[in-house]
Chain A
Amino acid sequence: KAGVTQTPRYLIKTRGQQVTLSCSPISGHRSVSWYQQTPGQGLQFLFEYFSETQRNKGNFPGRFSGRQFSNSRSEMNVSTLELGDSALYLCASSFSGELFFGEGSRLTVL
């Protein structure tokens, strides 16, 4: 069974640009959640989707958004990038409360 797949794995952007990250969950998992990991703040919850509906949202500005498609694949978008958005972005799919993470997308903002 394939695990959680995140693309791209690495990307470099400049301030003011926008970025879209993709996450394909484990087959059969309908819940997808996103996290930002930085050395200073650790892992912080961004949002969670279930059956194409946002079920929960963390304390991030509106520049951070996401969506989920009918096949459970999810995307997150960050607009007007800032230097502080440089981080590892992790996606997880879950089944019965247990989370399974992808390898992450490492974003560097210059």
Chain B
Amino acid sequence: KQEVTQIPAALSVPEGENLVLNCSFTDSAIYNLQWFRQDPGKGLTSLLLIQSSQREQTSGRLNASLDKSSGRSTLYIAASQPGDSATYLCAVQSEKLVFGKGTKLTVNP
């Protein structure tokens, strides 16, 4: 059974800092991994999708990496801004889509 863990559960940083969010999964037989952000009371916004054959994806200030063999993915956010404050979730697609519990990020001005 696939299990997805995100550490830390919460993170508070000053504006401008570079930061890394972690996601680990127990079963390396995955099709893809996707990172989302969720604002309070809202749906999920797709940030990056990494196919199982890929090692990383980049979009603007975001970079996500995938290491299937170790069951890990990281989301790197460069030059963080207060608007980046949200909960970040990773989701692993194997037989079913399994989400982590998320990391709540607060970027302080």
Binding site for B on A (CB under 8 A): 4, 6, 33, 35, 42-45, 56, 58, 88, 90, 92, 97-104, 106
- Give B residues with C-beta under 8 Å from A: 31-32, 34, 36, 41-46, 49, 51, 89, 91, 93, 95-102
In angstroms, Cα B89 to Cα A97, docked, is: 16
A97–B42 contact, CB under 8 A?
no
Task: Pick from A33, A58, A98, A102: contact of B49, CB below 8 A.
Answer: A98
**A58–B99 alpha-carbon span in the complex (Å):** 13
CB distance from A26 to the nearest CB of B (A): 12
Q: Which 9 A-B pairs have the closest CB atoms?
A: A43-B99, A101-B43, A101-B44, A103-B43, A98-B49, A42-B101, A97-B32, A104-B43, A45-B96
- Number of cross-chain contacts by CB at 8 Å: 48
Inter-chain contact A99/B42, CB cutoff 8 Å:
no
- In the bound complex, do residue B102 and residue A42 qualify as a contact, i.e. CB atoms below 8 Å apart? yes
CB nearest neighbor in B for A96: B49
- Contact A98:B46 (CB < 8 A) given known A42-B101, A45-B98: yes
